[in-house]
Amino acid sequence: MKKINKWLAVSLVLTTALAPSVAGAAVNSGNIADLQKADSWAQNAIVQVKDLGLMNGDPSGSFRPTDTITRAEFAVLLTRLLHLDVPGVTASSFADVPAGHWGVSYIEAVKNAGVMLGDGNGTFRPDDVITREELAVLLVKAGEGTVSGGELATADSASVSGWAKPYVQAALSMGLMSGDGQNFNPSHAAQRQEVAQVAVNYVNKVPSSFNIAADGTVTVKGMPYQVAGNLKPLFSVQNAKALKNAKMRFDMKDKVITKITYLELVNGGAEPASGAAEFSGNAVLDAGGATIDGNVKVSADYVSVLNLTVGGDFEIGAGVQHDFYSKNVNVSGNTVINGGDDNTVVLEDATLGNVDINKQGVHVQAKGGTKVNAMQVNTDSRLEAGEGVTLPQVTVATGVKNLVLDGKGTFGNLNITDKDTKISLMPDTALQSIQVPNGTQLSDVVKDYDKVKGQIGKSNGNGHGDEQGNGSGNGQGNGNQDNPNNSNPAKTWNNLYAKVQKALDDLPEPEEITLDNYEAVREQLEWAQSLVVEYEVKKLKTPLQGLDKLHADQEKVSQVVTQADHDKFLALAIAALAKLPNASSIDKNTINTIDPQVLDAAVNAVKASRANGGLTDELTGLDKLVQVVRVKTDALFATDGNGDLDKEHLAPDFDEEKFYVAADMFDALLDPMPTSLTGLSRDEALQTFADAMQRIKGLSDLTPAIYAVMDDLNLVYLLDLESGFFSGVDFIPAPDQVTMADKGLISMLLDLDQTIQLGSMTTGIFIPNYSDYIDAEIKLYDAAGALAPSVVESLFTDNTHTALADGVDLGAIGEATQFVNNSDYSVRDELTALLETAQQLFAESESVVPEVLLVWSEKVQDPSSWNRQIVAGDGLNVTVNKRSTIYLVPKGVRVLSPQGLQDLVNQKQAASVSVAGFGEGMTGMIPTAGLAQGDYHLYLVDSFGHMRVDNTYYSVVDDAAPYAVWKINDLKQPVNEPTPHIDLRFIFKDTPDDSLTLSASSSNPNVCEAAVTGESLRLRAVATGTATITVTATDTRGKSASITFKVTFDPAVNHAPEVVDPLPDLNTWMSNSDYTVDLNDVFQDPDMDELTYTLDSNTDSGVATVTLDNNIMTVHNVAPGTTTVKVVAKDSTGASVSMTFKVNVSETAPSTPNNDPYLIGGGIADQTVNLGDQDLTFTLSDVFGDADLDELQYSLDSNTDDSVAQVTLVNGVLTVHGVAAGQTTVTLHASDNKGGTDATLQFTITVVDPSALAAPTAPADPSAPADPSTPADPSEPTP
């Protein structure tokens, strides 16, 4: 697009007529056509939800504020409020949501998040309207609000459904909803304007709860996210305090936060301790150079912000009452200071645009290398410019009484607009120039003028000796001509609509965006988006055309960027790997000769490539890093007398940090969720390592060398555990000498023994030193068995065994069980009976609440990795803390008594099991044969009849195998053409509650290689020939389906060059300079052959000459007229393509007809003001426009009754001040002084005296609708 714009520059000036602007300044309607139809209390909320991207109107620009909202529409809103991952699905798990339904992806997203779960009968009711009580339930669940009992304080509380009452109470308490003063109106259907209001309430009242893990994982509102590399410094653990409960909006892709679009800090530090340095108590946010692509607001006291780039505005909010410090903060937008005090707001080494100071009495200090474009001071304050700092432009607004200029720096131009302002200039402070109101003397404005006048350079264009300040130096008398802040804003804003609309019209169609042009298009999109934001901030009301294309282009660019990032990071990784020595030359003698920076760069490049979809077989040179890890891992083992590795013992100099370094490097090369062991505790590090190895083991593209290194790292892990085990066992006394003092050590070693055995089982590595390990186990088990009687007796108060000792719980009984399992057979039965007695005493205590401890399917070995799905017919194992009957009950079925549960079992709708005993005997298996598919949860009933529900849901699913629903056609193409990426998302199907793992293989990798990345099949041509590709889908229970197709690669063919960006005709005139164009931007060769260019013809070189210098073409005007130019591009084989364009040369530039001024969007609507209200102001540059960008002159023609309202017009700003009750009519006009027709505006002003009016009735509830409706509860049926 850049190339086209460059060549069209001249003709656009001649032929493009700028369309009239249509936005009205006095109406805050944004581009919402029917905003005035909304109730007044909802209008701001509607604008906000649209600005936030939470709710949109229809294509006509209407919001439809009084329409109701359906459950499917509300699901969309929830995904945006909660930043939920929206799966790319076309089929729903709900029976009443048809395939292809527009909202199916959003409905599945809210279901997966556990927020909207349907009605328990397998239906979602997507087209039912949401009632107010349903809205309360969903909002409180989404906001994780505390739900408790208590009386609902509304007059119509009896009308609120029982299941909804606690949620309605919580919604009122959280400030999410309110009533109309008396009633809540629970069964009324919620209107779109109400939902807009409660969505804004949710954003403002429900903070994002941050939890930052050591590996950089961020949990927001309970949802885990990874963060893109450029944002990781922002989310470091060190920033956890500053980010606590911060408000954030962000973009994400595949559970990775890619961009922060808004950040508000709400958690501060504390006042520094007595004698401590200033700011030492601040909560510190060190962004590490990260960028926020939007606005940042600091709303907490005692905060420091370091090393941050802000793409939008930066606000120091009113919540900052004391200290604020910043360093290395760069702001693209405006910086607004609404907080702080007289004890310093510090801006050190900052790069800022315009700065507005609005806080009364604040002390703002700019120091270090701070650069500021301009400052606007709106309140009494103190500005300090540190040594070496220059503040080039400071404007002091009307109403400022006292301003102190301090510091050893320099103030450039100080523009005073109010003759009553007083300036105090400190002794070391320099002021280059000062502008004062016309007729004002400097001594009237500058305190102690005679003492400080030597520090002042010029005043109103003259030296400081011109004490009159009368403007003689600039001819205008006010000194404002050099102040950009006082330039006429008409030329800046009166054609904003035309500017925005043109930017939108110039955007390409999504299908035109490719890897070749996406960067240029992205610049266009950023420019268009910034104009749209500016337009909406101005709240102009004419709808913009092309916003849908803007959003579609942004999505397409995102898709292209994903592919571009894959290719870019893959290329960077391959380049970084190429700098390493060959794998065959890397050994223990040469590894230390590798440049550490080169090694680190290669590791980080591979890590970045992996994060962007890079595959093992694509990463040429990855074997070099695998060999580095191999050498580092070998160094962890001991060696025998011959120098060979002894893999049953660790090296004498082994330490865990060396192990962590090797493991971290291996993890970075392969793990889709890379972690770091360095800095973790030993227990955390070993558990993190085990988890990472399990993830890597599940990858499908590992080589034998990688498997071998992984096995050895797992072996080191087991040897390290074993070493600790052997050391601990050495401290155990002989069995006849153990005492209760040894209980803790023995219990710990019993747990470690289980960990080692589990590690051996999951890694497939045989326990090393097995004979020694068995000997150590025997010593441990003998000691545990000898101590078992004492451990069991310690559970009871005395030897009557009738009461448990204080603090005994299931954990203590379980620990005792480990000892009993190792006791001598002669006492084991007796001890087991005592354990059962202890279990019974615990389980039969009425005060013990029945509780679910563990649930897993009988077919699952590791309960921690279970996905909560039970194949129908499998048993469901449940462990509880006391004797109970456990019921598996369909979700949505409400049960009020134990008999009701038993009735469900008798009706085959539920299943149950009774458990008793102790230890593992407190586990029962619930049979699921015969149960319908769907979600279930557990009820527990103890022997006292106490009933408790566990709200975790489990799914009973059909044991169906996946199956293919589409075939992939055979592919035949030349070997040198790009192979397509094949979308596999719709090829296979399985039951909705199962997930599929996709893989691919090639019958002949020497012809074609195949791999699955995400849900796409990637093919790579290797040579000519034919290969059969097999794609397989495997479900979580090991069942699979496959399809095959053939790929044939023919010999390479040559493709002729193409014209990818044809030049338009060039319209120019004699005084214009030469035009040049890079022909490589115009032509392209599909085979990437180098092109040569020739000038085929120029029909009239007397009009313009055309010359070629390699790929650069130059057009030089000679005389008025027209010539036709033909250029030919050829590749190395002689294949060619040509392009023809005309050059039209005129003698002079054509004149442009004058356009008269016009009203923007209808001008100013009729106004109503109350006596005592703040004056109304209208910037007339937002009311009148001129398509030629002429400077306009405004006139106040008449005010029919100035006893009702005083109307003044000063510098293009119209001010209305109510005087007395009544009505007056105001007439204005705007002229461009070019003799055409002026634009005229007339509107009425009605002034109302509130004291003469009756007391108003209670305002309508911002969330109260009028239309009643009573659909079922979103998560429970109506009782």
- For residue range 1199-1233, list pLDDT tens digits in order: 999 999 999 999 999 999 999 999 999 999 999 88
Nearest-angstrom CA–CA distance, 294 and 309: 10
Q: What pLDDT band is residue 485 in, cutting at 50, 70 and 90?
A: very low
Residue 1137: its pLDDT value, please? 94
Task: State whether residue 611 is helix, strand or coil.
Answer: helix
Q: Are 333 and 315 within 8 A, CB to CB?
A: no
Residue 1161: its pLDDT value, please? 75
Residue 160 has pLDDT above 90, yes or no: no
Q: Could you tell me the CA-to-CA distances from 1068 to 13, 16, 225, 1148, 1150 in Å, in that order?
A: 10, 15, 55, 9, 10
- Cα–chain center distance at 2: 30
Residue 950 has pLDDT above 60, yes or no: yes
Q: Could you tell me the CA-to-CA distances from 297 to 344, 534, 940 in Å, in that order?
A: 18, 19, 49
Nearest-angstrom CA–CA distance, 87 and 93: 13
Residue 912: its pLDDT value, please? 94
Q: Are 1141 and 1113 within 8 A, CB to CB?
A: no
- Helix H, strand E, coil C: the string for 305-343 is EEEEEECCCEEECCCCCCCEEEEEEEECCCEEECCCCCC
Taking the CB of residue 88, how many other CB atoms lie within 10 A of it? 10
Burial class (CB in 10 A: 0-12, 13-18, 19+), 529: middle
Task: State whether residue 1151 is helix, strand or coil.
Answer: coil
Residue 220: its pLDDT value, please? 61
The dihedral over CA atoms of 227, 228, 230, 233, expressed in degrees to the nearest 10, equals 20
Q: What is the mean pLDDT of the chain?
A: 82
Residue 1260: its pLDDT value, please? 41
Q: Which residues pair with 999 in a beta bridge?
A: 1032
**Among 406, 478, 401, 488, residue whose Cα is nearest residue 435:** 478
Q: What is the pTM (predicted TM-score) of this model? A: 0.37
**Among 285, 219, 291, 292, residue whose Cα is nearest residue 262:** 292
Residue 217 has pLDDT above 90, yes or no: no
Q: Are 170 and 164 within 8 A, CB to CB?
A: no
Task: Supply the angle between the helices 825-843 and 810-820 in degrees, to the nearest 10.
Answer: 170
Nearest-angstrom CA–CA distance, 409 and 366: 9
Instruction: List CB contacts of 409: < 8 A, sequence separation 6 or more.
Output: 366, 384, 385, 386, 387, 388, 389, 390, 391, 429, 430
Residue range 193-217: average pLDDT?
71
Q: Are 337 and 314 within 8 A, CB to CB?
A: no
The dihedral over CA atoms of 124, 127, 128, 133, expressed in degrees to the nearest 10, equals 80
User: How many helices (H) and strands (E) would you count in the chain?
Assistant: 24, 61
Residue 1094 has pLDDT above 70, yes or no: yes
Residue 479 has pLDDT above 70, yes or no: no
Residue 765: its pLDDT value, please? 87
Nearest-angstrom CA–CA distance, 307 and 252: 23
Residue 777 has pLDDT above 70, yes or no: yes
Residue 22: its pLDDT value, please? 23
DSSP state of 1183: T
Residue 1049: its pLDDT value, please? 92
Residue 210: its pLDDT value, please? 58
Residue 909, both tokens: 């709708």
CA quadruple 50, 55, 60, 62: dihedral sign: negative
Nearest-angstrom CA–CA distance, 116 and 110: 5
Residue range 1168-1195: average pLDDT?
88
Q: What pLDDT band is residue 764 in, cutting at 50, 70 and 90?
A: confident
Nearest-angstrom CA–CA distance, 344 and 351: 18
Residue 993: its pLDDT value, please? 52
> By percentage, how much of the chain surpasses pLDDT 90?
32
Nearest-angstrom CA–CA distance, 88 and 97: 15
DSSP state of 1276: S
Amino acid at 257: I
Residue 152: its pLDDT value, please? 75
What percent of the residues of the chain are helix, what percent strand, and what percent coil, each to the nearest 5? 30, 25, 45
Residue 1023 has pLDDT above 60, yes or no: yes
Residue range 1162-1178: average pLDDT?
89
Residue 670 has pLDDT above 70, yes or no: yes
Task: State whether residue 1026 is helix, strand or coil.
Answer: strand
Residue range 377-405: average pLDDT?
92
- For residue range 1105-1158, list pLDDT tens digits in order: 999 999 999 999 999 999 999 999 999 889 999 999 999 999 887 777 788 898
Q: What pLDDT band is residue 1271 in, cutting at 50, 70 and 90?
A: very low
Residue range 1239-1246: average pLDDT?
94
Nearest-angstrom CA–CA distance, 648 and 654: 13
Residue 735, both tokens: 């069995």
Report the greatest alpha carbon distance in the chain: 121
Residue range 25-34: average pLDDT?
53
- Helix H, strand E, coil C: the string for 899-919 is HHHHHHHHCCCCEEEEECCCH
Residue 530 has pLDDT above 70, yes or no: yes
Residue 340: its pLDDT value, please? 87
CA quadruple 480, 483, 485, 487: dihedral sign: positive
**Among 1033, 1091, 1028, 1035, residue whose Cα is nearest residue 1058:** 1091
Query: Phi and psi for 1199 in degrees, rounded to 5?
Result: -135, 105
Residue 787: its pLDDT value, please? 94
Residue 919: its pLDDT value, please? 46
